Structure 1
Amino acid sequence: MLCGLSLSLPALGLRLNFRGSDCKSQLLICRLCEASQRRTAGLRTEQLARNELYCKTVIVCVTTQAVTAVPRCAPLLGGGAGGRSSGSMDLQTLFTFETFQQVCGPYGYGGDLQDVVEREFARIKGITYLDHAAATLHPECLVRDYALDISSNVYGNPHSHSPSSRLTHDTVERIRYRVLQHFNANPEEYSVIFTSGCTAALKLVAESFPWRPQTESEAGSRFCYLTDSHTSVVGIRGVTSARGVVAMPVSPQEVENRAKEEPQGDDVICLTPHLFCYPAQSNFSGRKYPLSHVEGIQARRLYPACDHHGRWFVLLDAASHVSCSPLNLQDCPADFIPISFYKIFGFPTGLGALIVRNDAAGILKKTYFGGGTAAAYLSGEDYYVHSASISDRFEDGTVSFLDIVALNHGFEALYKITGGMHNIQQHTFGLARYTYMLLSSLCHGNGQPVARIYTEGQFESPSTQGAILNFNLMDSYGQIIGYSQVDRMASLYNIHVRTGCFCNTGACQSFLGITNQHMRRNLQAGHVCGDSIDLVDGQPTGSVRVSFGYMSTFEDCQKFLNFVAECFVEKPVRVDQVRLEQLKTTTAASQGSNGDLPTKITNEEIHRVEEKKPIDASLKRFGDRDSKSRVEAYTLTSIYIYPIKSCGAYEVHDWPVGPQGLLYDRGWMVVNGNGVCLSQKRETRLCLIRPQVHLPSNKLLLQASEMDTISVPLDNNTQTHTSFQVCQSKVCGDRVETVDCGDEAASWLSDFLGQPCRLIRQSPYFTREMKKRPSSASTSTSLSLANEAQYLMINHASVELIQKQMSTRQEYSEGDQLFDTQNVISRFRANLVIAGVEPFEEDNWSHLIIGNTRFVVAGQCGRCQMVGVDQETGTKTKEPLMSLSAYRMGKYMSHLPPAGTQAEQQDVHSGNDCC
């Protein structure tokens, strides 16, 4: 006897319970009314109706052998005749990769994308992740390399001056330049201010902008924002209203429809500052707004700037745009650009940046000042001077430096996997376009469309549409299916989407036709942002959004479309062939006119190298030698060049003088995995690398104990050697462009030093000027990768005096090693060693002549802890730095070429007389 039966129909959101008293077959027909027929005022009734939305006619057959549920919307398994329109492809054919390739073109990054996904994103196996606009996924190599980095290096607080702190400082500064490079921004024009995210960057601008309140005699500042803006942008209105500033929402149509053809000049000079904010890409629909709006607003051609006098600044909300699209700030000179890094890399979260144009940074006035932002202040009175550095000025306290370190690994992983943002844009747009084409063409058996898609265009081009698809599903009667129901069903299929209004009420109201009155009424009915109440009085309160990332695959599209067809399409499934063919035609036309087809873009980075130089407090003791003083002759005893910065010396008898010092001196340097310059302060084993410049073969030889000798070209022209990549790093406080010297040198250095390293050299197309310039205006002042000057000269007699001082100190210390004179000389890493003078007599020199080559003294050299490294063994000692505390050792010099003589045509010979 059949005592009881519970039948669940999860796809219908319905549970039916039946009881019977015999074994005969029973037939129960349950007819449920349509939601549209039962719609009444009130939220409770609407919620009940929503659950019945999909239940048209359910026939339940109950027997002793089987239980069968046959809804009108039977699941679609594959294609079949039921889903085929006359003369058209069936769904099984439409949902194939071949069809995708025919209509959407570029896919992947030149390799096996599925292999990349299995290797780097194994954790999403069985998951269809389609919420990349909210947060994309990080590859496993990013976290693995990051963990290795922070477990291998000691990163101290960047506000300290210890070696670990300097490593942090240099790494953070290097990454600032890499962020700018990613957006093709010149560091002379833009600065990077790290924040906790895009919202914090927006808040920083809001609280620092010099708003002028409206008065009876002055219109005051205007804060204008596109209605299609994120909540965090509209929230600036809270700051402006408190300061008496007018906030003006502007619809997307008004910007150009109300524009003026010519730039609007002021009859009188008006410097009232105004701020216009708009998104580069809508986070709601993926619509890309013209980046040309930036200059249009700044020039007062576009509305609302054309109607208001003053100086207009543009805040470009790029958080959504940069997740899958390139942003070139050379073409789009916005004043303020807030971003969040997790939307690009997936990790780290809680880190963003405000990229600020240096010309505009001066208008921002902070009121609060935290640690690290002050050049000077007094605790006893209201006196404060902000830091000269734009970044330091706005980064209150210690930045999240370990998270910033992770950014470098994010860039490395992104470019390694994809080749760059242009490739990502093409890949993700293809996926979004294919999904749009199929979803917008799907119809129920009665011909009603399945989806209402919220978009301004038809996904014609990646320049106007991002990788976001926003929609609501509809039943066969044209009624909206609540987004919460779609979300619940998607979860059953392990498909991850986003629902609601996505913190963009303006776009939500515009696309869904929700009036301000409706918004207030929905709140009274109990609906608040972020809840699951999807229908109020039959009208949707939000929508469904799917979005793609660089690791998204065709299979993600396929699974999502199959899910929609199986769960929400009334059979037989039909396809709007007319619309589909129109979309295919649009695709072909846009691809034919779009020259931005993907190419494999290598991670070509422009290294800009910086390092802070020590302050030479003793310069005030330096004076020119009296011109009436006698000229004495001395001897140049040794010439050294250091081809690779911080590596071993190469002693020569004579050597050409180049435009930046001795030819090839400090023309290369070693950088770690984060692109930060390695020096003996952090890696003493660098001194055991013995590079040699072999001019006849035009080779730089790398030699070290127990290592095979390898070579790299002396002149690796980036225009003729495609294997060399332009890269970016930091050393010496000055930006320089450098060139990567290839994988062979990188592997050799990494093996010897036991950590990931690369060899880079200064670009021949870049000129770096000395900061400590000699008084002579005709002096050549261009630098290699040397710290401060073209040459370092030391006096043999001065070294001997220091050696005696060391010997005296060691008489009172046990176990200290006594160093010979040559050992001490090598520690100072001088280019020129002279003899025949009194100790420290060189302190009063103004110039030096060696043979026919004239040098001008630029200043005295302040010594650092590198003199404590034995250049023969790489071991650290306390001396001679302790004995040097009372002295300055070495003179910085620059070459003064004679009139009409090229510097590179002269040679310096050891043994020459000096005077």
Structure 2
Amino acid sequence: MNFHNVSSFETFQQLWSQYGYEGNFGEMIQQEFPRIKGITYLDHAAATLYPESLLRNFFRDISTNVYGNPHSHSPSSRLTHDTVEQVRSRVLQHFNTTSKDYSVIFTSGCTAALKLVAETFRWRPQTEGEAGSHLCYLTDSHTSVVGMRGLTSTLGVAALPVSSQELKTRAKDGIQEEDVICQTPHLFCYPAQSNFSGRKYPLSHVEGIRARRLYPACDLQGRWFVLLDAASYVTCSSLNLQDCPADFIPISFYKIFGFPTGLGALLVRNDAAGILRKTYFGGGTAAAYLSGENYYVPAENISDRFEDGTVSFLDIIALNHGFESLYRITGNMHNIQQHTFGLARYTYTLLSSLCHGNGRPVAQIYAEGQFESPITQGAILNFNLLDSSGQIVGYSQVDRMASLFNIHLRTGCFCNTGACQAFLGITDQQMKRNLQAGHVCGDGVDLVDGQPTGSVRVSFGYMSTFEDCQKFLSFVAECFVMKPVTVNRARLQELKAARESSDRPDELPPVNGFIKERQTGVEKSSSKASQQEFGHVGPSHGKTLTNIYVYPVKSCAAFEVHDWPVGPLGLLYDRGWMVVNGNGVCLSQKRESRLCLIRPQVHLPSNKLFLQASGMDTISVPLEDDVSFHTSSQMCHSKVCGDRVETFDCGDEAAAWLSLFLGQPCRLIRQRPGLTREMKKRSDEGV
């Protein structure tokens, strides 16, 4: 079978159905990534690429707004503080959770997040009478995970490496009884996705370890915590923390957005935060301390407690624009997963079917399966090329040749020695001998005594194209295949047939990464019904009510009424809406004085909110109390007077109207009906 006949888009479509996103994919690439013209970038697992709109909108933001130190209380500092808090909320939305369950601790990257856990976890050292805590990790883990043992070993804590096979083969049936007597804390770390092979490990392992069904938890008494290394996984996949409530999740944002670099986070399950204990305290982390006495009280807020000094607030603000660009271009992470997996599957299928003129295979691929499903395999392909005699071609030779063709890929062991050893069959003794022979991590020594010391990795991002796959495969065929180039027909047909059993629709994640609250058994209520249910405002004994003013939009003008229905939170529709800036931060007259010139008016008969201002056409938005409106609207989170509230976006027309009048990007959002702010609850309860 001729290689050029099968390396077509028709073959791709036979292997996978989804390619690109809504709109013209090629036009989007030209607009957002013009700098990669002529470049085949296939190293997204190391660092993905940022779109032009991210930088453009970020620089416009910091050029028009003054952001001060968030630890001060000036207007510019409050703007920074509120924007950073809005970004925290958006990070949690992206992972389908809220601040009720998780906290976001910003770090300099995933490695710093892992180091933070290692330094603050309440390890219990081994003694003669007690086994002590255990640091357990999958051998298929990044160096930064394995490196945690460097710290724990000095504390007398045992490190226990575990292979993926041991997890299940040594598991025990049924849930182990909760150990009430022994509360020794243990930590189990594993990657959601291998950065070496792209293998996705079951997220159900989180509960399996907690319930002490899986090894080593089933053999060690105590309380188990789970750290899920999600840095590689979240690049192209949706992580739902409602379904996978790991205790600690370290991530790096440049792997998702490409920019900013040097910024990551540790997501901490609030119920597990108590197992972390800080000793050093930096600026902003203390509720109180004395310089002349050993007295220190940590900040109550989890994020404040662990973020030493001033956070990298401009980089954090850039994340907001990263989310905006990502969702605008792709729709959601599910679309990214489908698109990138299709490219990886196509490349895997053709590379594994490619043969030399003498019939020998061209590549040895390192994978657990055959790229059957995006549930079990990420957009990473790891391999070594073989010459016509079956000998491995050194990865340095492949890397140098790829550079001549302007193909950007990754070679070596990818900071994952455990997976490298397992797939390449390198023993511990061989690793030590390779070091004695002069080979160290990151160098170009690709073969020692004819045996490979590493491999080649290509990985895909949401902006990767079918042409990238074609150029890479053509490069391999041109430079490393003995002519004539052929394709193993039986192998190709086998992989095509595998699609039928695996090409089923996956469960869709929340739209745009936002949580959609399930609405069940909610009755529709009109304004008239609300009036009948709650009655009208009337005079009370001994007092005279002279005027009634309703403020539908926070910080905008009021309108006077003669009588008005009362809802469960006060005057119906009072302060039900607010205006937020481009970063989702609530605007008040302190920040935007022109808000007082906007005259909102609620018209109950037509069920509409009207917005008026001098020199502007009047527009309206529906009052809409029914379920269908809320389930079809984009849900987001905002802060009002320090409280986190759930809101719904009121659409592009209102946003354009407000942006034009106020002279800055704005949106109109509405608080979810029936939601009571925590501060108001405490006030009502007399706290």
Q: TM-score range by the shorter chain?
A: over 0.9
- Percent pairwise identity: 77
Distance in 2 separating the partners of 1:672 and 1:723: 22
Distance in 1 separating the partners of 2:277 and 2:630: 48
Which secondary structure state, in structure 1, belongs to the residue aligned with residue 275 of structure 2? coil
Task: Give the CA deviation at 1:728.
Answer: 2.4
Conserved? CA contact 2:238–2:509, under 8 Å: no
Task: Give the CA deviation at 1:597.
Answer: 7.8
Partner of 2:527 in structure 1? none
Task: Give the CA deviation at 1:469.
Answer: 0.1
Partner of 2:33 in structure 1? 121
Task: Give the CA deviation at 1:734.
Answer: 2.0
Pick one of 500, 503, 506 that aligns with 1:596: 506
Pick one of 617, 635, 639 that aligns with 1:708: 617
Q: Kindly report the root-mean-square deviation, in angstroms, between the aligned alpha carbons of the 2 structures.
A: 1.8
Instruction: Tell me whether 1:555 sits opposite 2:464 in the alignment.
Output: no
Which secondary structure state, in structure 1, belongs to the residue aligned with residue 345 of structure 2? helix
Partner of 1:690 in structure 2? 599
Pick one of 297, 317, 325 that aligns with 2:237: 325
Distance in 2 separating the partners of 1:559 and 1:464: 26
Instruction: Tell me whether 1:290 sits opposite 2:290 in the alignment.
Output: no
Instruction: Tell me whether 1:750 sits opposite 2:662 in the alignment.
Output: no
Partner of 2:377 in structure 1? 465
Superposition map of 1:652-663 within 5 A: 652-663=561-572
Superposition map of 1:766-805 within 5 A: 766-771=675-680, 773=682
Partner of 2:576 in structure 1? 667
Conserved? CA contact 2:648–2:671, under 8 Å: yes
1:698 aligned partner, one-letter code:
N
Which secondary structure state, in structure 2, belongs to the residue aligned with residue 375 of structure 1? strand
Instruction: Tell me whether 1:484 sits opposite 2:393 in the alignment.
Output: no
Superposition map of 1:425-574 within 5 A: 425-574=337-486
Cα distance change, pair 417–219 in 1 and its aligned pair in 2 (3 A): same
Conserved? CA contact 2:95–2:241, under 8 Å: yes
Instruction: Tell me whether 1:101 sits opposite 2:13 in the alignment.
Output: yes
Distance in 2 separating the partners of 1:371 and 1:535: 50
Which secondary structure state, in structure 2, belongs to the residue aligned with residue 305 of structure 1? coil
Cα distance change, pair 598–494 in 1 and its aligned pair in 2 (3 A): farther
Which secondary structure state, in structure 2, belongs to the residue aligned with residue 655 of structure 1? coil
Instruction: Tell me whether 1:211 sits opposite 2:123 in the alignment.
Output: yes
Please tell me whether Structure 1 or Structure 2 has the larger radius of gyration of its CA atoms: 1
Conserved? CA contact 1:452–1:472, under 8 Å: yes
Distance in 1 separating the partners of 2:178 and 2:335: 44
TM-score if structure 1 supplies the norm length?
0.71
Distance in 2 separating the partners of 1:658 and 1:415: 36
Task: Give the CA deviation at 1:169.
Answer: 0.6
Conserved? CA contact 1:226–1:278, under 8 Å: yes
TM-score if structure 2 supplies the norm length?
0.94
Cα distance change, pair 531–544 in 1 and its aligned pair in 2 (3 A): same
Conserved? CA contact 1:723–1:742, under 8 Å: no
Distance in 2 separating the partners of 1:268 and 1:394: 30
Cα distance change, pair 222–603 in 1 and its aligned pair in 2 (3 A): closer
Q: Deviations over 1:314-335 (max 9, x none)?
A: 0000000000000000111100
Conserved? CA contact 1:228–1:251, under 8 Å: yes
Q: Deviations over 1:269-304 (max 9, x none)?
A: 110000000000000000000000000001110000
Partner of 1:230 in structure 2? 142
Instruction: Tell me whether 1:577 sits opposite 2:464 in the alignment.
Output: no
Q: Deviations over 1:819-857 (max 9, x none)?
A: xxxxxxxxxxxxxxxxxxxxxxxxxxxxxxxxxxxxxxx
Partner of 1:370 in structure 2? 282
Cα distance change, pair 653–105 in 1 and its aligned pair in 2 (3 A): same
Cα distance change, pair 267–469 in 1 and its aligned pair in 2 (3 A): closer
Instruction: Tell me whether 1:728 sits opposite 2:637 in the alignment.
Output: yes
Superposition map of 1:123-138 within 5 A: 123-138=35-50
Conserved? CA contact 1:423–1:599, under 8 Å: no
Task: Give the CA deviation at 1:717.
Answer: 3.6
Distance in 1 separating the partners of 2:184 and 2:461: 41
Distance in 2 separating the partners of 1:99 and 1:163: 58
Task: Give the CA deviation at 1:658.
Answer: 1.4
Which secondary structure state, in structure 2, belongs to the residue aligned with residue 737 of structure 1? strand
From the two aligned structures, give the one with the greater helix fraction. 2
Structure 2 unaligned runs (5+)?
518-539
1:307 aligned partner, one-letter code:
D
Conserved? CA contact 1:469–1:546, under 8 Å: yes
Instruction: Tell me whether 1:272 sits opposite 2:184 in the alignment.
Output: yes
2:613 aligned partner, one-letter code:
A
Which secondary structure state, in structure 2, belongs to the residue aligned with residue 276 of structure 1? strand
Task: Give the CA deviation at 1:113.
Answer: 1.1
Instruction: Tell me whether 1:360 sits opposite 2:252 in the alignment.
Output: no
Partner of 1:193 in structure 2? 105
Distance in 2 separating the partners of 1:359 and 1:244: 26
Task: Give the CA deviation at 1:596.
Answer: 1.7
Conserved? CA contact 1:718–1:726, under 8 Å: no
Q: Deviations over 1:846-870 (max 9, x none)?
A: xxxxxxxxxxxx79xxxxxxxxxxx
Partner of 2:220 in structure 1? 308
Pick one of 45, 48, 67 that aligns with 1:155: 67
Which secondary structure state, in structure 2, belongs to the residue aligned with residue 679 of structure 1? coil
Pick one of 378, 390, 396 that aligns with 2:308: 396
Cα distance change, pair 769–514 in 1 and its aligned pair in 2 (3 A): closer
Distance in 2 separating the partners of 1:562 and 1:756: 46
Conserved? CA contact 1:127–1:494, under 8 Å: yes
2:641 aligned partner, one-letter code:
C
1:595 aligned partner, one-letter code:
P
Conserved? CA contact 1:426–1:597, under 8 Å: no
Conserved? CA contact 1:606–1:737, under 8 Å: no
Which secondary structure state, in structure 1, belongs to the residue aligned with residue 638 of structure 2? coil
Which secondary structure state, in structure 2, belongs to the residue aligned with residue 291 of structure 1? coil
Partner of 2:672 in structure 1? 763
Partner of 1:335 in structure 2? 247
1:703 aligned partner, one-letter code:
Q
Task: Give the CA deviation at 1:107.
Answer: 0.6
Partner of 1:622 in structure 2? none
Structure 1 unaligned runs (5+)?
1-84, 608-630, 778-857, 860-915
Distance in 1 separating the partners of 2:20 and 2:632: 23
Partner of 1:139 in structure 2? 51
Partner of 2:608 in structure 1? 699
Conserved? CA contact 1:103–1:588, under 8 Å: no
Pick one of 632, 645, 649 that aligns with 1:740: 649
Which secondary structure state, in structure 2, belongs to the residue aligned with residue 367 of structure 1? coil
1:660 aligned partner, one-letter code:
L
1:707 aligned partner, one-letter code:
M
Task: Give the CA deviation at 1:110.
Answer: 2.4
Distance in 2 separating the partners of 1:388 and 1:774: 20
1:116 aligned partner, one-letter code:
M
Distance in 2 separating the partners of 1:455 and 1:737: 43
Task: Give the CA deviation at 1:718.
Answer: 5.1
Partner of 1:680 in structure 2? 589
Conserved? CA contact 1:194–1:354, under 8 Å: yes
Which secondary structure state, in structure 1, belongs to the residue aligned with residue 628 of structure 2? coil
Cα distance change, pair 718–676 in 1 and its aligned pair in 2 (3 A): farther
Distance in 2 separating the partners of 1:505 and 1:333: 28
Conserved? CA contact 2:113–2:250, under 8 Å: yes
For CA contacts below 8 A with separation 6 or more, give which structure has more relative contact order. 2
Which secondary structure state, in structure 2, belongs to the residue aligned with residue 282 of structure 1? coil
1:400 aligned partner, one-letter code:
S
Superposition map of 1:388-427 within 5 A: 388-427=300-339
Partner of 2:529 in structure 1? none
Which secondary structure state, in structure 2, belongs to the residue aligned with residue 520 of structure 1? helix
Task: Give the CA deviation at 1:657.
Answer: 1.6
